Amino acid sequence: MSGIDITVVGEDGTSRPVEWEDHQNLLDALLANGFPVLATCGGNASCATCHVFIDPEHIDASGERTDAEADLLSMIDDVATEHSRLACQTEFVTEMAGATVTLKAGM
């Protein structure tokens, strides 16, 4: 298995297909495909600037939030929802095939 196809909705609202490779976390896949994700902490789960929304059908497949991730998302509770994840903490799983990931404008 080398990758899965997902759809990414950019900050401008346009969507496009992306191949997510099995050696990448979601942040790596977004950056490799040219999405302008800030990720000021470098993917270390300490800033929440890689906040994304996972579609309801795939949120469970995206895995459990770590305590650090849950804490960061609680600090942005004005925008975070039950479908929020940090891209740097979302690991590749084949069950995410077909998922839609939406970037939060201005994050």
What is the residue-level pLDDT of the chain in tens, covering all 107 positions? 589 999 999 999 999 999 999 999 999 999 999 999 999 999 999 999 999 999 999 999 999 999 999 999 999 989 999 999 999 999 999 999 999 999 986 54
- Supply the pLDDT for residue 34: 95
CB-CB contact of 27 with 103 (8 Å): no
Q: Which domain holds residue 40?
A: 3-103
Other beta carbons within 10 angstroms of residue 77's beta carbon come to 9
CA atoms within 13 A on the CB side of 39: 20
- Supply the pLDDT for residue 1: 58
What is the tally of structural domains in the chain?
A: 1
Where residue 87 sits, what CATH number does that domain have?
Answer: 3.10.20.30
